[in-house]
Amino acid sequence: MKRVLITGAGGFVGSRVLQQWQGKYELCAFPKGFLCTANETEVLAQTKARHPDVILHTAALSDTAYCAQHPAEAYRANVELPLWLARAAAQRGARLVGFSSDQVYAGVQQPGSLPETMELSPANVYGRQKLEMEQRMLDACPDTVLLRATWMYDLPGYGLPIRGNLPLNLIKATMYGEKLSFSNRDYRGITWPPCAGSRPAAPQQCSASAAVRCSWPSSLWAGSAPHSFSAKNGRHARPQSRLRRLQGLVS
């Protein structure tokens, strides 16, 4: 059984991966809070001690406003830490799968679907950091697979971390009669990462002009699973089930 090291195992994506992949792989993680303070030497040593066959890097500071207000802290989390993990993967000979973001396309004026190969100059700090992260991870570990994930969402009630997201914001606004404002120039998808257990069926799939193949639920409760990822380095992940397709990258 392959041994998979998951960073950000207590976060939104990592916790769902941990839940759904139980029994399919030998899963491990760093101690809680370790990555917040560890230096490169410690990251390399702790990675080596876990002997991973695969490293799945989901940890990040993804709040765009926070990253703009605390660029140095965000740079360490979003650029330096992934680079250290890429070096660890290269030393170990482990496969590395890293989560990037569709924010690398922030500020693009070109309409329609956008290719992965286009020149980018992200309009926000988080997007710039994620783009630099991609470049530096590939330099350190050329076989890295990078997934430009769209805005993540899920519904509460499954014992997993939850955070503000588009469907929840819409539901809350409907319940309380609040108004929401959106840019008419922002074309994005949203990603539903299904997890194991009793839960609603996946939202319906549709096509949209966006930086990546995306999902937009016409119903929160019924339909087939949407596309969600754009993969860099020539590897496209267009899953019928997000985590099942992600599983294919580590097998």
The DSSP secondary-structure symbol of 107 reads: T
Residues labelled catalytic: 126
Of 106, 221, 126, give the one whose Cα is nearest residue 167. Answer: 221
- At 153, phi and psi to the nearest 5? -145, 160
Q: What is the DSSP string of 138-200?
A: HHH-TT-EEEEE-EE---S-SSS-----HHHHHHHHHHHT------TT----EE----SSS-P
Of 186, 202, 191, 203, give the one whose Cα is nearest residue 229. Answer: 191
Answer yes or no: are the C-beta atoms of 24 and 246 closer than 8 Å. Answer: no
Q: What is the largest CA-CA distance in the chain?
A: 55
Length of the chain: 251
Residue 109 and residue 115: Cα distance in Å, rounded? 13
Answer yes or no: are the C-beta atoms of 224 and 217 closer than 8 Å. Answer: no
Element (H, E) at 166: helix 166-176
